[in-house]
Amino acid sequence: MRKLAGHFKDWYSRGTTTFEGPDALTTERYNSRDAEPRWQKYWSDNHCFEAVEDTSRPKYYVLEMFPYPSGRIHMGHVRNYAMGDVIARFKRACGFNVLHPMGWDAFGMPAENAAIERGVHPKTWTYENIAAMRGQLKSMGLSLDWSREIATCDPSYYRHEQAMFIDFMNAGLVERKVSLVNWDPVDQTVLANEQVIDGKGWRSGAIVEKRELAQWFLKITDYSEDLLKALDRLEKWPEKVRLMQRNWIGRSEGMRFSFVLEDAGGRELPGKLTVYTTRHDTIFGASFCAISVDHELSTEYSAHDEKLAAFRREVSALGTSEETIERAEKKGHALGIYARHPFKPGVKLPVYTANFVLIGYGEGAIFGCPAHDQRDIEFARKYGLPVIPVVAPQGVDAAAFEVGDEAYLDKDGSDARLINSDFLNGMSVADAKEEIATRMEAMGIGERKVNFRLRDWGVSRQRYWGCPVPVIHCPSCKIVTVPKSQLPVTLPEDVTFDKPGNPLAHHPTWKNVKCPQCGGDATRETDTFDTFIDSSWYYARFCSPKADVPVDAEAARYWMPVDQYIGGVEHAILHLLYSRFFARAMGKTDHMHWDEPFASLFTQGMVVHETFKTPSGDWVFPADAVQTDGQWFHAKTNEPLTIGGIEKMSKSKRNVVDPESIIAGYGADTARWFMLSDSPPERDIEWTEAGAEGAWRFTQRLWRIVNDASACGRDGSIAEFGPVAMELRRVAHRTLAAVTDDLSSLRFNRAIARVHELSNALGAALAAGSPAPDLSFVIREAADILVLVFAPMMPHLAEECWVKLGHRQPVVETPWPTPISALITDDEVTIAVQVNGKRRDEIKLPKGLAKDQVEIAVMKLEGIKRALEGKSVMKFIVVPDRIVNIVSGG
């Protein structure tokens, strides 16, 4: 029987045994439980990682996305922080003045959920979690500057957020407007999208309603163009993230224009219907108009149309999530009014309220051209509306061209031409757009308009555990900001969660205040900020975490921008976009002058794990899964288990592995090593017990190799190295060069493969026994290199090894070595020789040999002669020092 987690107890009981071989060479096992706390204390006592501004040295700011204090760290954190730590330690060794801070994204809903479910105060819950997680992170041996630790729920942090919000208000970056929220009518509370499940509130089960609420917005759309354009400059960001942000901002060039409306009898109605489109070229294919259920016309008509009102209720029960809205079947309800086609006299388009038209985009109204839009055609087929193709590939017969259930979308650069479109016939899409725009502008019914998909950032949350909005509502003075001298507006602590809704809204002494302007009775704003605000500037606060302004200018000038930012792809859009905006807003209000906070971004993959299920479908913790004869069983109930998919570690699927027990058992170095090995960092990594054990065995192997090497002499007077010694030297220096390169480009998995290679070469040299003085010297040199190159990944083991090798300074104070260039270059290269693209032989040649010389040598090869037998050489391709390809025929 093999038990998954927990069996490292075995090794620990073995951990103190010594090996007493006949040759009296005794090596104690490396004991991480002893070494790791010891070195952590050393680093801490000597303030090794506390950053101090020093303009005489180049700085390097490495930051991992700070964690939400959920209570325990998970493997995703281990992976994230291990990566950041490798970079921090590597850059440090390379001579940079490194800033590597840590903090807590400490406001948010889970704290309130804990309060509701278990009666713990959110503050107590949060700070206890922080304490627990701080301890766990410290046990990882991260080179963090803990003296700069911040928590966003601390008034010393959020007071600056409040001050900046007031400055943003004064700078015109804040707006108060009405927007839609998910309302739970039973719990009397606003729900997050994730709390709406199948249109129902997660706790109450009540049908969710959409409700209009006055909310605070930050005007991120003021920067739409700039946020888009500046993406081009972010060359060290992954292209996919830049693309996602581009699409999110969604700049489009189109037209806004108005239809004249008429009733069923053909009588013109007052008011016009304004739509936005990017496909004005398809106007002759229009067969209906559709407006959002939240459009003012929908509201107006539903007053005396009960069916329409019912339809709107149905749609609003879907909630506010764009995903659910767009996934829903396309449905609509005819208003009974019509839009007059601007170019087709007498043609009228029925106006529908439709569930797929979004109020937040464009005008909340569209014209539908089913032939060339997938959503429109689904709608048209459902309601029997005409489908008129108006764009077709060039040369296609207009009369015969038909569109089925799939819209015809002309691709960029296609040669599509307009058909069935009167004066547009024969034009390209671009020309047709131009023509329509010109005509509509001349007719005075519309204008060209650049539109963005990006919406303003709604920052109001009707919740307790967040930063209070520093505003007071006064019946006479209206909205008054809290004077800066009275900041911070702190959260009251005497709150309970037994009543539905926001505790701030029914806290009389906190809520009721005097107006700072007129002194009359007034009330505090009871909304708190979106926690994305907290995380939109924490990177800047780390520069001067104790300053009495949000950001100390001098410190920011030195440390900003973040040179390397690391976190999950799930933040590719919102957090990163909000941070980019916030930096600009802070620039406008003179708090910081650095528009792009993250010079280089790396998005790491998730940690995934096998899942286990019982016959009744319950998820089982991997720790409870036991394998006997290839079949898995539950350790306690003995039920047979089936292996589910390999999925992101999550509590609900119970496929979590607790880092604390892994670190306690195998040690932090092993956990770090495994998280960095095998998978490339941007890809998902699967946690496997076998892999962790492999990593653990490798730490022991390194320890053994270093111990054996430390017994070798280090005679510095070697005049000449023999071939065996030279070969090991080459391997060592090549490894050093390769690891330097791999770490610089964050390819940790490759660096680890190279460390394995060097340890294999060293192991082989040591296994041969009694090395001659030249080899002995090289073994010591190679061992030093080995330790220094794995040090960023396994810092505790490295320190321990370094002492063993007789060094007096710790690794942490030892500079990164430089490879000897003569040892990493070769004067001979092995070249593959292909015939018609297939490898037939290979040849060793001096580097840089001329093409005709290569040809002569290659034609003598047996394999080539054989392959070319009876054939003529048509072409001879030589890629210098890489490959030869002979094209033959006949």
Contacts of 193 (CB under 8 A, 6+ apart): 182, 319, 320, 321
> 838 in the Ramachandran plot: left (φ > 0), alpha (ψ -120 to 50) or beta?
beta
- Closer by beta carbon to RNA, 431 or else 686: 686
Would you say the C-alpha torsion 187, 188, 192, 196 has a positive or negative sign? Answer: positive
Nearer Cβ to RNA, position 427 or 739? 739
Report the residue number, 396 or 887, with the smaller CB distance to RNA.
887
Single-letter code of the amino acid located at 365: A
Q: Which residues, 6 or more positions from 713, have their beta carbon under 8 angstroms from its beta carbon?
A: 773, 776, 777, 780
Taking the complex as a whole, the smallest distance from the CB of residue 219 to RNA amounts, in Å, to 12
In the chain, the N- to C-terminal Cα span, in Å, equals 64
**Least CB distance to RNA at residue 842 (A):** 5
* Residue nearer to RNA on the CB measure, 531 or 589: 531
Min dist CB 48 to RNA, Å, is 29
Q: Are 668 and 692 in contact (CB under 8 A)?
A: no
Q: Please, which residue, 143 or 460, has the CB nearer to RNA?
A: 460
Token pair recorded at residue 856: 């002569």
**Closer of 437 and 794 to RNA (Cβ):** 794
Is the Cβ of residue 71 or residue 691 nearer to RNA in the bound state?
Answer: 691
- For 692, how many CA atoms within 13 A lie in the half-sphere containing its CB? 23
Q: Of 405 and 422, which has the nearer Cβ to RNA?
A: 405
Beta-sheet strands, E only, within 411-510: 417-418, 446-452, 457-458, 460-461, 471-474, 478-481
Angle ∠(72,77,82) on CA atoms, nearest 5? 130
Of 261 and 706, nearer to RNA (C-beta) is 706
What phi and psi values does residue 708 have, to the nearest 5 degrees?
Answer: -65, -40
- Residue 188 or 247 with smaller CB distance to RNA: 247
Least spacing, CB of residue 704 vs RNA, in Å: 7
Find the shortest distance in angstroms from Cβ 349 to RNA: 22
Smallest gap from residue 890 Cβ to RNA (A): 15
Looking at beta carbons only, is 436 or 685 nearer to RNA?
685
- Decide whether 424 or 533 has the Cβ nearer to RNA: 533
Structure tokens at 610: 């096998």
Contact of 852 with 802, CB cutoff 8 Å:
no
Please say whether the beta carbons of 469 and 525 come within 8 A: yes
Residues counted in the chain: 890
Nearer to RNA, 111 or 551 (CB): 111
Q: Identify whether the C-beta of residue 389 lies closer than 8 Å to the C-beta of residue 285.
A: yes
Nearer to RNA, 837 or 870 (CB): 837
CB of 477 or CB of 843, closer to RNA: 843
Q: Report the alpha-carbon distance of residue 268 to residue 270 in Å, rounded.
A: 7
Residue closer to RNA, measured from CB, 270 or 630? 630
Q: Give the separation between CA 736 and CA 762, rounded to whole angstroms.
A: 14
Q: Shortest Cβ distance from residue 883 to RNA (Å)?
A: 4
Residue 286 near residue 367, CB atoms below 8 Å: yes
Residue with tokens 């388009």: 349
Query: Three-state SS across 341-373?
Result: CCCCCCCEEEEEEECCCCCCCCCCEEEECHHHC
The sign of the dihedral angle between the CA atoms of 647, 648, 652, 658 is positive
Our measurement of the distance from residue 97's CA atom to the centroid of its chain's CA atoms, rounded to an integer in Å, reads 26
Burial of 443 (0-12, 13-18, 19+ CB in 10 A): exposed
| Least Cβ distance, residue 518 to RNA (angstroms) | 29
In terms of Cβ atoms closer than 10 Å to its own Cβ (0-12, 13-18, 19+), residue 413 is exposed
Measured distance CA(806)–CA(488) in Å, rounded: 55
Residue with Cβ nearer RNA (382 or 648) = 648
For the CB of residue 74, give the shortest distance to RNA in the complex, in Å. 11
Residue 451, beta-bridge partner list: 252
Q: DSSP readout, 72-104?
A: S--HHHHHHHHHHHHHHHHHHHTT-EEE-EEEE
Residues 111, 408: Cα–Cα separation, whole Å:
50
CB of 709 to RNA, least distance (A): 13
Give the phi and the psi of residue 62 in degrees, each rounded to 5.
-115, 130
Return the residue matching tokens 């073995």.
Answer: 14
Q: Locate 657 and state its tokens.
A: 């592995």
Closest by CA position to 352, among listed 339, 371, 369, 341: 339
How many Å apart are CA 795 and CA 800, to the nearest integer? 9
Q: How far is the CB of 59 from RNA (least distance, A)?
A: 28
CA distance 188 to 622: 40
Closest separation in Å from C-beta 421 to RNA: 24
* Min CB(65)–RNA separation in Å: 8
Task: Please report how close the Cβ of residue 480 comes to RNA at its closest, in angstroms.
Answer: 22
Q: Residue 29 carries which DSSP code?
A: P
For residues 43 and 237, which CB has a smaller minimum distance to RNA in the complex?
Answer: 237
Distance of closest approach, residue 451 Cβ to RNA, in angstroms:
11
Least Å from the CB of residue 77 to RNA? 11
Give the shortest CB-702-to-RNA separation in angstroms: 10
Cα dist from 121 to 116, 242, 465, 492, whole Å: 9, 40, 10, 12
For 422, which DSSP code? G
Q: Report whether 373 contacts 406 (CB < 8 A).
A: no
Instruction: Tell the smallest beta-carbon distance from residue 409 to RNA (Å).
Output: 9
3-state secondary structure (DSSP) of residue 878: strand
